[in-house]
Structure formats: C-alpha cells, structure tokens
Chains A and B, each alone.
Chain A
Amino acid sequence: MELLSALSLGELALSFSRVPLFPVFDLSYFIVSLLYLKYEPGAVELSRRHPAASWLCAMLHCFGSYILADLLLGEPVIDYFSNSASVLLASAVWYLTFFCPLDLFYKCVSFLPIKLVFVAMKEVVRVRKIAVGIHHAHHHYHHGWFIMIATGWVKGSGVALMTNFEQLLRGIWKPETNEILHMSFPSKASLYGAVLFTLQQTRWLPMSRATLIFLFTMFMVSCKVFLTATHSHGSPFDVLEGYVCPVLFGTGWASDHHHDNHGSPHSGGPGPQHCPAAKSKEELGEGSRKKKTKKAD
C-alpha cells in the first residue's frame, strides 16, 4: 500500500515536472512581473512619456533572469530574444497592463483571488527556472558547485538582482541601495533552492529531480500565496535566521536583526508553521549557505 502511494507520488511529481511552461505559466509570470513594475513609483508616468524605455524595462522584468544567467555564463545576452513568441507575448502583456482602455486588464488582474492564482503559477516557473539553470551550469562546469548555485540563484531571483540597472533605465540612479543589501523573500528562497538543487545535481541529496521540483514548488507556492494574501513583506526565514545568526555571527548582529524585525510594520514569519515539511528540507541547505547570505545581509 505504501509502495503504491509512493509510486503515485513519484509519478505525479514526474508528470508535474514535465508540464510545458510556455503559454499559460509563462503568461502568468509576465503578468505578475509587470504588475510589480506598475507598482513602482513613476512607472506609469514613464510609460506615457517614454514608451520605448518602459518597454525595455518590461522586457528586463520578464527576461531578467535569462539575461543575467547568459551574462554570467558568457553566452549572448540577447539570446532569449531570439524566442520571438515569448517576447511578443510579454509585449502584449505590457501593452495591456499599461494602456488597456479603462485600465480594465489591470483591474481584473489585481483582483486578489485572480492575482493569487497568477502568483502561484509564477512560483512554478521560478522553481523550474532554478532547476533548468543548475542543469545548464552543470553542463558547462561539472564540478563547479558555486557556479551552479550562482546560476540557479540568478535564474530564480531574476530582475531583483539588477534593480540598479533597471532603475537606471527609468532615470533613477540610486547606487546606495541594492537587492544584495536587502534581500527579499524570493531572492533568499531562490538562493536556498539553488543550494538544494545543486546538492541534488551532484547526488548529495538522495531524491529525484522531479520530486525535488514538486516539493520545492509546493513550498514556494504556499509561502508566496500566503504572503501575498496577507500582504506581508516579511519572510518565513526570519524566525530561523533569528536563531541561527546570533550563533554564527555573534550578538551584535542579533540586536541589529531584532531591531529590524520590530521596525517593520508587518511581523514576518508565518511560513515555518505553514509548511513544516518543506522547512526541514530547507534547513539542510541552510547551514551551508547561511554564511554567504548573512555576509551579504
């Protein structure tokens, strides 16, 4: 009986990892990315006055992960733009988001239940991108662990890592802030995910790739949907970091972090209770990568 259930889980994961991303999931990725672009202050004005700059910005939001990964691996930066169908789809979404009559498209999409569905689908794409990125890096560098992690991380967090450059396109130049200084939940989760997938790729994690994709997607979807639904900007890792970091980096850091936690309007940390199963898996990679993250923090 147990064997049967395990088999069906494996099969489910396998078929899940083979669902084609292109029309539907990619579409929701573009929609959510461009929604976030529209939330940025000044983005709407920019689209009225300089449509070309706004379009370029939108392309960065949609394809930033591919561009950065290509840049890191020494492949043509505009490689992904040879994929005309995706670019046209993203352009259509950009056009609808910013120029739809009555703002109808934007109003529909930002209606909370619909938005949650799109957010969930976006996380599916994110996890798949991490997995593909690590596979790709593995193809180039068989024992390059750090290269695999970096590529997976970049693929997962996408445009967030090139915020400065993206702001420059919009005419804002703020070199004093960047994503590495204030890592958001998706970037952190991508980093941890990249570590997990790298461990799996180098066979340190006794688990098939499909299963890992399935479990990590479940974790990401539930966390992100929960965070979006409660409008919280905290991250489920906050609590864990609160315990681990004082041990690793001393007391000075702890007080700093505490202050940070209480300073934010929304208290973070509903995640760990939310999905404990995936959490324990997180911890595996956590210890090894913690150092790097915190240094960055």
Chain B
Amino acid sequence: MDSPWDDLTLAFSHTSMFPFFDIAHYLVSVMAMKRQPGAAELARQNPVSSWFTAMLHCFGGGILSCMLLAEPPLKFLTNHTNVLLASSIWYIIFFCPCDLVSQAYSYLPVQLLAAGMKEVTRTWKIVGGVTHANSYYRNGWIVMIAIGWARGAGGAIMTKFEQLVKGDWKPGSDEWLKMSYPSKLTLLGSIMFTFQHTEHLAVSKHNLMFFYTVFLVTTKITMMVTETSSVTLAPFEDTLSRVLFGWQKQFSWCEKKSETKPSSNGTGSSASKPTAGASESVKKKHAKKTG
C-alpha cells in the first residue's frame, strides 16, 4: 500500500469529532425526536422533560455503556461543552422563530450531509467503546463487542426505554424485537473492530475505520435517496438464517411423520407435556406457514 494513501487514512482517523460532526449528530438526533408525534407540544408545556429526552437521544449510547460498565450514568454531564452544544441545538430546533431550522433541515441535501456526518461519529464511538472495554477486560471480546455496540447504537434502546417509562409506548409490537438497520450495521462494525483490536483481523486500524465509515455513509445516503430500508444486508441475512436456523424447516416433514406415531419419545415427562406440546404445535404451525 503506497504511503499517500496511508497518510490520507491516518489523517482521516485523527479527525476530531468535536465541533462539526458532533453538531451534525445532535442535529439529526434532535430532529428525529421532533418528528415524533407530540414532541413539539411537549417542549412548550414541559421544557425540562423535553430537554431530558433530547439529552437521552444525544448521549444515550454513552449512558448505556456506562451503565453496563458500572460507571456513573451521568458522566456525560461532566463534558460541559458537549452538553451546552447539544442543549443549544435542542433550543434552536424547538424554539427558533418561524421554525427556520426545521425548514432548512427539510431540504434534502442538508439532510444528506447531516446524516452522512452523523454516521462518521458512529465509527468513532464504536472504536472508543471497544478500546474502553479493552482497558477493563483484556480478553473479554464479548464485552468489547457489547460495549462497542452499546456506544454506537444504544441510543435507540435508551429512548425506547424512556418512552416505556413515560407510558407513551407499549412493547407488543414487533418493532422492539427487530434490530433496526443501523444497529445491525453497528453490531457488524463492533465485531470487526474487536477482531482488529485482538489482532485476529490483519488490517490496520485507520484503514478499517476509513473503509467502515465509507461503507456506513454510502449505505445511509443510498437508503435516504432511494427511500428504502435495509438494502445491503437482506440477502446475506437470508442465507445466514437459512444455514443457521433453518434446520427444523427442512426436517419438519419428518417430524410430522413421527408425530402420527404415538410414543415416539417414550415415556416423556407428562407434566411438561402440555406446555411442551403446546410450544411444539406453535412451532409446527410456524414451520408450516413458512415452509
């Protein structure tokens, strides 16, 4: 690999997130919060609660990772500059005269720019989380993956939890269980950076950061422009789930046959049978539906 390329990626990996990329992140997060029904009225009636929600949207990932590592969850408040920055962005978005910021934001190129810059901060957060977890647990690669993921995509979980506590939202819908597309990508990135950190992946860190960021930004922008959700990963995921979790569907006809013959599993536990039988029939139904 020639040296100008290396220089470029190295310089890129040393870019400071602080003023511009952080602003973009806060802007996108708070705008996403404002899109929720009732958020604007809430800000008029109860600014404190609205501010708190905005902080959760902006710093949720950090809070979640602090909770997982038994650090004070309010640690983000010690970073005065960032909190002030996020607060001022919250203020101008909700209380700007004539709603100027929202109107400017609804212009597509601005949105694309802000979203692209937000994805850049995601890479930095994942790397930060993985390194931080590694300082606690030398060989705990599961912990490293989890912390990297929590930093990168934990904000969504925190905000859902906050809505649950406020009573705005009931889990029952599938949305909670389905991992959103960004969190899947974050998980993938977290795994890659962890393996890079434990030197199982023979790529230098700045190169990986560069390529991952480019990947994130391009997929995000493609998704926004074409207005689709989950493009890239769907075929890959399909194959993977068929390989890993598809065993029973292939064998389901076998099971059906064995079911017709009684006592195929001998003197199985009779008390566990009602529940086990119920779950089995549910499963069979599902297998039939899909198979």
Binding site for B on A (CB under 8 A): 38-39, 41-53, 70, 74-78, 81-84, 87, 95, 99-103, 106-107, 110-112, 115, 168-173, 231
User: In the complex, what residue of chain B is closest to A71 when comparing beta carbons?
Assistant: B70
Q: For the complex, would chain B's binding face be called helix, strand, loop or mixed by DSSP majority?
A: helix
Which of A101, A169, A173 sits near B251, CB closer than 8 Å?
A: A101
A50 to B175, CA, bound (A): 11
Which of B146, B164, B251, B282 sits near A45, CB closer than 8 Å?
A: B282
User: In the complex, what residue of chain A is closest to B172 when comparing beta carbons?
Assistant: A171
Q: Would B276 and A110 count as touching, CB distance under 8 A?
A: yes
Q: Using Cβ atoms and an 8 Å threshold, which residues of chain A touch B280?
A: 44, 103
Q: Would B275 and A111 count as touching, CB distance under 8 A?
A: no
Which of A99, A112, A171 sits near B244, CB closer than 8 Å?
A: A99
Binding site for A on B (CB under 8 A): 67-70, 136-137, 139-143, 146-147, 164, 170-174, 176-179, 241, 244-245, 247-248, 250-251, 254-255, 258, 265-272, 275-276, 278-280, 282-283, 286-287, 290
Given A51-B241, A102-B254, A110-B268, A81:B143 Cβ within 8 A:
yes
A99 to B68, CA, bound (A): 30
Given A41-B279, A101-B247, A111:B265 Cβ within 8 A:
yes
A48 to B245, CA, bound (A): 7
A-B contact pairs, 27 of them (CB 8 A): A39-B279, A41-B279, A44-B279, A44-B280, A48-B287, A74-B70, A76-B136, A78-B147, A81-B142, A83-B140, A84-B139, A99-B244, A99-B247, A99-B248, A101-B247, A102-B255, A103-B248, A110-B268, A111-B265, A111-B269, A112-B269, A115-B269, A170-B177, A171-B173, A171-B174, A173-B170, A231-B272
Q: Would B139 and A51 count as touching, CB distance under 8 A?
A: no
| Among B67, B142, B268, B275: residue with most chain A CB under 10 A | B142
User: In the complex, what residue of chain B is closest to A232 when comparing beta carbons?
Assistant: B271
Given A107-B265, A171-B174, A231:B271 Cβ within 8 A:
yes
A169 to B178, CA, bound (A): 11
Q: Using Cβ atoms and an 8 Å threshold, which residues of chain A touch B164?
A: 168, 173
Q: Using Cβ atoms and an 8 Å threshold, which residues of chain B touch A169?
A: 177
Q: Using Cβ atoms and an 8 Å threshold, which residues of chain B touch A70?
A: 70
| Among B141, B146, B272, B275: residue with most chain A CB under 10 A | B272
A270 to B171, CA, bound (A): 40
Q: Using Cβ atoms and an 8 Å threshold, which residues of chain A touch B258?
A: 102
Q: Would A53 and B283 count as touching, CB distance under 8 A?
A: no
A243 to B287, CA, bound (A): 51
Report, nearest first, the 5 A-B pairs whose CB atoms are least far apart: A231-B271, A82-B140, A82-B137, A44-B283, A50-B177
A87 to B144, CA, bound (A): 14
Q: Would A171 and B177 count as touching, CB distance under 8 A?
A: yes
Given A81-B140, A81-B142, A99-B245, A173:B172 Cβ within 8 A:
yes
A193 to B196, CA, bound (A): 46
Q: Would A39 and B179 count as touching, CB distance under 8 A?
A: no
User: In the complex, what residue of chain B is closest to A74 when comparing beta carbons?
Assistant: B70
Q: Would A111 and B286 count as touching, CB distance under 8 A?
A: no
Q: Using Cβ atoms and an 8 Å threshold, which residues of chain B touch A111?
A: 265-269
A167 to B136, CA, bound (A): 30
User: In the complex, what residue of chain A is closest to B273 when comparing beta carbons?
Assistant: A110
Q: Would A107 and B268 count as touching, CB distance under 8 A?
A: yes
Which of A83, A101, A170 sits near B248, CB closer than 8 Å?
A: A101
A232 to B261, CA, bound (A): 29
Which of B68, B139, B247, B275 sits near A78, CB closer than 8 Å?
A: B68
Closest chain-B Cβ to A16's Cβ sits at a distance in Å of: 28
Given A78-B68, A84-B142, A171-B177, A39:B244 Cβ within 8 A:
no
User: In the complex, what residue of chain A is closest to B187 when comparing beta carbons?
Assistant: A52
Q: Using Cβ atoms and an 8 Å threshold, which residues of chain B touch A84?
A: 139-142
User: In the complex, what residue of chain A is closest to B138 when comparing beta carbons?
Assistant: A82
Which of B254, B269, B282 sits near A231, CB closer than 8 Å?
A: B269
Closest chain-B Cβ to A257's Cβ sits at a distance in Å of: 24
| Among B139, B141, B178, B247: residue with most chain A CB under 10 A | B247
Which of B146, B244, B267 sits near A81, CB closer than 8 Å?
A: B146
Closest chain-A Cβ to B40's Cβ sits at a distance in Å of: 27
Given A77-B67, A82-B140, A100:B270 Cβ within 8 A:
no
A39 to B282, CA, bound (A): 12
A143 to B145, CA, bound (A): 38
A234 to B142, CA, bound (A): 39
Q: Would B68 and A82 count as touching, CB distance under 8 A?
A: no
Given A39-B276, A84-B141, A44:B282 Cβ within 8 A:
yes
